[in-house]
Amino acid sequence: MLARLFPQGDATLIAHELTQMGHPAPAQGLCGQSFAGKLMGVPQELAAALTVWLQHQETACWWYHAPGASAATADVLFGGSGNLLTALRQEADRIPLLQPVLAALDAARDIQEHGPTHVRLGEQALALGQRTYVMGILNVTPDSFSDGGLYLQPEQAIKHAEEMLADGADIIDVGGQSSRPGATPIPAEVEHQRVIPVIGEIVKRYGALVSVDTYRASIAEAALDAGAVLINDISAMRFDTQMAALIARREAAVVLMHMQGTPQTMQHAPAYRHVIDEVYSFLAARLDWAMQQGVTRQRIVLDPGFGFGKAVRHNLALLRGLEHFRALGQPLLVGTSRKTFLGRLLQREVWDRLEGTMASVIYATLRGAAIVRVHDVKPVVQTVRLVDSLEHSFP
């Protein structure tokens, strides 16, 4: 059983969640509540006991049920005043059956309230909640979906990195293996030859913050030796059993991304029962596992994985519900740049998706993205600076 908490007082997200669960949103009763949460995978007996308890509460509260992932479980969305949790804590002492509910809610509150205020990249600490950071994409590949072949030669790649840094990029993300749908894995030796010299030169020439887009521990280690400070792992450290130990030992930062399937299979009819629940549960589990392996919270970034095993409707649901993932307490990376779902919605080819990218970046920035990963650095930097000024600057 896992709990996820909702932003206080945000009836819009709760109403949308109700529609996802098959309930019409009530005209009133959801606003102004100081607590709302969803319990996922609740055993039926426990769900029934919780419902009975809620029915007998004198304080204003509400609750809704939906079938869980299995026939033996239910999902329960409930909320009310701050006194509701206090009453539940007291009742759990009397009714032991309710203890798992309290434990799940306490765990969710702990992870939300004790999230980092900075993300550490090497010796630098980037403050969270004050501005949005821009990660410039540098694909040194012949077959990436958008810019494959443009920066395959080292000097071309280094020149492009220089341009992105001049345009305001905070981080340069170097990738040597395409992860586009259907991409075939390349030998580690080829990936090494493509990315390591480029990373070394970017760090040497410009002193930039550099990440490496790889799921291989051997490439990650070589990149760290070359000066990289962040490992952008599309597998969330699942594809290489040595990755977590490496990152913990080297005190590197890591991006943990959700992906359904692999790059070879991820777009073969992706399906979800509830995409936000499933992506949230995955990221919560990987965050917990990473910390158990010795990776500190200040060095973990989470990525919902736009375009990685998602249909258009799934990408839209994740973008619309991005604020849900803030309950995990970690900085969020959003990578919608030039993605296929934008092209399908706007009927634009890959080279003509700037407007769609910009709209999705603005939307993500307003909903709490800490880092946006983009191809078109200059217009994005200008845009997020204005959005940040409107959101975080006060007269």
Catalytic site positions: 339, 373
Are the beta carbons of 93 and 354 closer than 8 angstroms?
Answer: no
Tell which residue, 166, 159, 241, 152, has the closest CA to residue 202: 159
Cα separation, 220 vs 319, in Å, equals: 29
CA 322 to chain CA mean position, Å = 8
Q: Contacts by 11-17 with C-beta closer than 8 Å and gap 24+?
A: 13/321, 13/323, 13/324, 14/77, 14/79, 16/320, 16/321, 17/77
Q: Which residues have CB under 8 Å from 121's CB, separation 6+?
A: 171, 209, 229, 230, 253, 299
Q: Where are the beta strands (DSSP E) in the chain?
A: 2-5, 35-43, 61-67, 73-80, 118-121, 124-127, 133-139, 171-175, 209-213, 230-233, 253-257, 300-303, 333-334, 371-374
